[in-house]
Amino acid sequence: MTTETDTGQPGAARPSATLDAVTPSQPHPARLGYGSLWRGVPRELGFLLLTMPIAIVGLSVLMSLFWTGVGTIVIYVGFFIIVAAFYTARGFGVVELTRLDWAGRPAIPRPVWEKPGTPRTFLRAVFGPFANGHYWLYLLHGMIINPIVSIFSWTVTIVWASVALGGLTGWIWEPFIPQGDRSFFLSQTVVDAVFRTTSTFDPTVGDRILYLIAGVLFAVTLPFVTRGLTLMHEGIARGVLGRWPSEALQREVADLSASRGAAVAAEDQALRRLERDLHDGPQQRLIRLQMDIAAAERKLADDPDAAATLLAEARQQAGDTLEELRALSRGFAPPILQDRGLVAAAESLAARSPIPVTVESSLQPGERFSPEIERNAYYVLAELAANLAKHSGAQAGRLFLERVVDGSGAAWLSVWLTDNGRGGASLVDGHGLRGLEERVRGLRGELVVDSPEGGPTRIGARIPLA
């Protein structure tokens, strides 16, 4: 579906020959089976094997910078060296968080380093880290916590992977190792100690079997070890390098304020648009209707035929005004929305559209949402359907409704409209899509516009159901 463009002129591009369906995919919750643990082993091994080298480099760099700064602070140069240590520690912390993301762990909310809207000045950049607790925590993580934890996790990883790999492949390479005058065999020692007897089996073969058993055991448990060590690093990073709960609350308050402002702006824009449409349409027709009736009254006695003609024109004006008022009222909640729900209202919109529109819905029969959600979702669909008829140049459209649950368990209502028109829709201030975006943002949702030149166009809104 194509909406208003920057110029407002219809493009010359030919409509697309095909109509692509919009089928927002619903994420499936990750399974925690043994197979899924093995699928994460390569990334987790890569994370763990690089942990200690990166930690040792960070320890060396940060220790050198910080203590050099402390030692030279009396000549003021050390002050700037300590600032450099803060920013370097921040860099190593960001590397750790990024590596955890690559390891497949859930994203850790990053700290708020600067308050939004705060001007960045030289003094703030120099003195700010001293007053920001995150810089001190990042420095502590890079100089003490991460090196200690990394040595432990790296050692366990190397030992576990080596025993697993060596035990599973020992029967291949062990025959090529010269035995010489070897007198100690692990398998023989274990059997003699357990059964308190003198073993008579070939100790070389016994060692190979013992190593194979150990390799199998260590290989089977390797996914649990890598996952546990990665979770340990994730927990430390989430507590030391992540955003504080108070910052999350402040961000939530800021988002709510922004959403409220967007809702107010969208409502104001909708009222202004309604006022303009009433002034330019029904109001002008009613003024003309009043003038025609007054002229008919004056001619009623002297020229009945002329009066009848004026009354016929007045009747036509009344009919046109009624149709225009009905068209305007479609932007409000119709009775079918209140009685039968969003799907029925969407089907009614599709039936009234001059361009063929099909409705596809994955909602359960009779599924209802809060009146606010349904009213705003219907408003979005009505606006998209109106723009489809006015600006798209399309031959067909498809409307899709879906209830989606994301990975965090939050429920969303997704409404999409796609067409095979000329494309070119964009978010431009003062146009209909910008007003839709503000309305959806006021509900803490998002509006997605995908409309390349030449089409097809996909425009949809995701509205949280919480």
348-361 confidence digits (pLDDT tens)? 878 877 888 888 88
Structural domain that includes position 324: 260-329
Confidence of residue 126 (pLDDT cuts 50, 70, 90): confident
Let me know if residue 15 belongs to a domain: no
410 contact partners, CB below 8 Å, separation of at least 6: 464, 465, 466
Give the model's pLDDT for residue 424. Answer: 74
As a whole number, the mean pLDDT across the chain is: 77
Does 160 lie in the same domain as 287? no
Does 433 lie in the same domain as 369? yes
SS3 annotation, 369-385? CCHHHHHHHHHHHHHHH
CA distances from 104 to 30, 95, 99, 295, 407 (A): 12, 15, 9, 79, 14
User: 419, 450 in Cβ contact below 8 A?
Assistant: no
* Cα Rg of the chain (Å, integer): 35
Let me know if residue 411 belongs to a domain: yes
pTM given for the model = 0.52
Let me know if residue 359 belongs to a domain: yes
Q: Using CA atoms, how far apart are residues 146 and 375, in angstroms rounded to an integer? A: 52
Does 153 lie in the same domain as 113? yes
Range among 107-111, 360-364, 406-410 with highest mean pLDDT value: 107-111
Does 270 lie in the same domain as 188? no
Give the model's pLDDT for residue 29. Answer: 40
| Boundary residue ending a domain (280, 297, 329) | 329
**Is the pLDDT higher at 349 or at 260?**
349
The CATH number of the domain where 451 resides is what? 3.30.565.10
Let me know if residue 324 belongs to a domain: yes
- The 10 Å CB-count burial string (b at 16+, else e) for 299-324 is beeeeeeebeebbebbeebeeebeeb
Let me know if residue 23 belongs to a domain: no
Which of 212-221, 339-348, 431-440 has the weakest average pLDDT? 431-440
Give the model's pLDDT for residue 18. Answer: 42
Q: Using CA atoms, how far apart are residues 96 and 138, in angstroms rounded to an integer? A: 10
Let me know if residue 13 belongs to a domain: no
Does 139 lie in the same domain as 123? yes
218 contact partners, CB below 8 Å, separation of at least 6: 160, 163, 164, 167
Q: Using CA atoms, how far apart are residues 457 and 425, in angstroms rounded to an integer? A: 8
Which of 130-139, 206-215, 288-297, 314-323 has the weakest average pLDDT? 314-323
Q: Using CA atoms, how far apart are residues 202 and 55, in angstroms rounded to an integer? A: 46
Does 351 lie in the same domain as 325? no
Does 276 lie in the same domain as 179? no
The CATH number of the domain where 293 resides is what? 1.20.5
Which of 53-62, 92-101, 298-307 has the weakest average pLDDT? 298-307
Site of tokens 């790296």: 154
Range among 131-135, 264-268, 430-434 with highest mean pLDDT value: 131-135
* pLDDT, tens only, 70-108: 999 888 888 899 999 999 999 999 999 999 999 989 989
Range among 323-327, 426-430, 459-463 with highest mean pLDDT value: 459-463
Q: What is the mean pLDDT of residues 262-287?
A: 60
Give the model's pLDDT for residue 327. Answer: 56
Residue 391: count of CB within 10 angstroms of its CB: 24
Q: Cα 219 to the chain's mean position, in Å?
A: 36
Does 374 lie in the same domain as 264? no
Structure tokens belonging to residue 249: 């609350």
Does 282 lie in the same domain as 227? no
Q: What is the mean pLDDT of residues 331-336?
A: 62
Phi-psi region of 24 (alpha: psi -120 to 50; beta: other; left: phi over 0): beta
Does 220 lie in the same domain as 93? yes
Does 339 lie in the same domain as 323? no
The helix (run of H) or strand (run of E) holding residue 466 is none
Q: What is the mean pLDDT of residues 156-168?
A: 90
Does 342 lie in the same domain as 319? no
Give the number of domains in the chain: 3
Q: What is the mean pLDDT of residues 25-41?
A: 67
Let me know if residue 2 belongs to a domain: no
Q: What is the mean pLDDT of residues 319-340?
A: 64
Let me know if residue 435 belongs to a domain: yes
Give the model's pLDDT for residue 233. Answer: 95
Is a pLDDT exceeding 90 seen at residue 403? no
Q: What is the DSSP pairing of strand 411-419 with strand 397-405?
A: antiparallel
